[in-house]
Amino acid sequence: MAEPTLDCEVADVTPEMAWDLLARNTSNRTLLPAYVQKLADAMCRGEWVVNGEPIQIAEDGTLLNGQHRLAAVVQSDTTVPMLLVRGLPVAAQKTMDSGSRRNLSDVLKLHGEQNTASLGATLGLLHRYRAGVRMDSSSRTAPTSQEALALLALEPAIREGLPLAHKVHRLTKMRVSVSGVLIYLFNEEEAGEGTRFFEALCVSENARERTPMFALRSILDRIKNDRTYKLSTYVLCAMTIKTFNAWGEGSEMGVLAFKPGGDKPEVFPEIRALAQAA
């Protein structure tokens, strides 16, 4: 069987050109609007670069791969350079996208970072906090690799709390990303207090009842010991912030709760510095 003759070029893909290619998108996966929006936002910020991943086009003109990138060009109304490969057999589509996608942890590792899974997840929460969106693990609000690297360059001290965050996880099973980002944010409000708070949490196994540490540790112990009891990252962040605020005030805390849903959803708590609490 003769090998196909391929035509490869890097071309400036305009919205009109992208629209024309998408018109020949006859047998592709369902388009994911949230992913298109993420790519479009990156293009608008000027983050798009040619990375060798091609827009793949069959010998009969059918678009085989690249619909999300092309849809993002149309949505962002920008012109970006892309590698185009034409002349592929239509049957080649069955072998595309069969490898694992590089995630943020992989990208951080390529940049020489350590503890990349924890650092990536922590940066994701910090990105959402700075953007004023829900602190959770939604892919819709996750940072792009470029956004995460830019955030790390702007706020490199986020790395410093990760050793303590891993210690907290070993002793309480709190997610490393949650304690990692909150150590940093609490320290930002009051220098050193985030570190002091989480060090105190590590030795709070026998905390007095009705204290903030006892309330939070009770929640964490339940998570650790009861596999049916689950808390989302969003709720766990809110509960920990409420505990930090009460701890700073020196106030009692009975039942620790946060209700994000229902008829009257609770507002996500603000982090209060000790001076504000006083």
236: confidence class by pLDDT, cuts 50, 70, 90: very high
* 106: number of Cβ within 10 Å: 14
Q: What is the pLDDT of residues 190-211, one digit of tens each?
A: 999 999 999 999 999 889 999 9
pLDDT tens per residue, range 89-113: 887 776 665 455 668 998 899 889 9
Taking alpha carbons only, the member of 121, 40, 123, 55 closest to residue 93 is 55
Contacts of 182 (CB under 8 A, 6+ apart): 194, 198, 237, 240, 241, 244
Residue 135 near residue 232 (C-beta atoms within 8 A): no
Q: Are residues 70 and 188 in the same domain?
A: no
Q: Hey, what amino acid is at 46?
A: G
Average pLDDT of the residues in 143-150: 91
Average pLDDT over every residue of 110-130:
95
pLDDT surpassing 80 at residue 1: no
| Strand-pair category, 54-58 with 63-65 | antiparallel
Range(s) of the domain holding residue 79: 7-90
Tokens of 121: 């997840």
The domain that holds 38 is classified in CATH as 3.90.1530
Q: What is the pLDDT of residues 28-86, one digit of tens each?
A: 667 888 889 989 999 999 989 888 889 999 988 899 989 999 999 999 999 999 999 99
φ/ψ (deg, to 5) at 14: -90, 165
Co-location of 165 and 51 in the same domain:
no
- Do 53 and 18 share a domain, yes or no? yes
Domain termination site, one of 64, 90, 116: 90
Query: Do 144 and 270 have their domain in common?
Result: yes
Q: Tally the C-alpha atoms within 13 A of residue 126's C-alpha that lie toward its C-beta.
A: 31
Confidence check: pLDDT of 145 > 60: yes
pLDDT above 90 as % of the chain: 69
Would you say residue 224 has pLDDT above 60?
yes
pLDDT at 278: 47
Distance CA 139, CA 244 (A): 28
Phi and psi torsions of 98, nearest 5°: -90, -10
* CB-based contact 135:237 (threshold 8 Å): yes
Name the least confident of 45-59, 94-108, 127-141, 243-257: 94-108
- Let me know whether 174 and 217 are in one domain: yes
Residue 159 has pLDDT above 90, yes or no: yes
Looking at residue 275, its pLDDT comes to 52
Q: Are the C-beta atoms of residues 269 and 242 closer than 8 Å to each other?
A: yes
Are residues 145 and 264 part of one domain?
Answer: yes
Task: Give the pLDDT of residue 96.
Answer: 65
Q: What is the DSSP string of 171-197?
A: HH---HHHHHHHHHHHHHHSTTHHHHH
* Residue 75 shares a structural domain with residue 113: no
Same domain, 60 and 121: no
161 shares its domain with 52:
no
Same domain, 251 and 213: yes
* Number of residues that make up the chain: 278
Among candidates 20, 124, 19, which has minimal Cα distance to 72? 19
In a domain, 96, yes or no: no
Instruction: Lowest mean pLDDT of 7-21, 26-40, 94-108, 145-159, name the range.
Output: 94-108
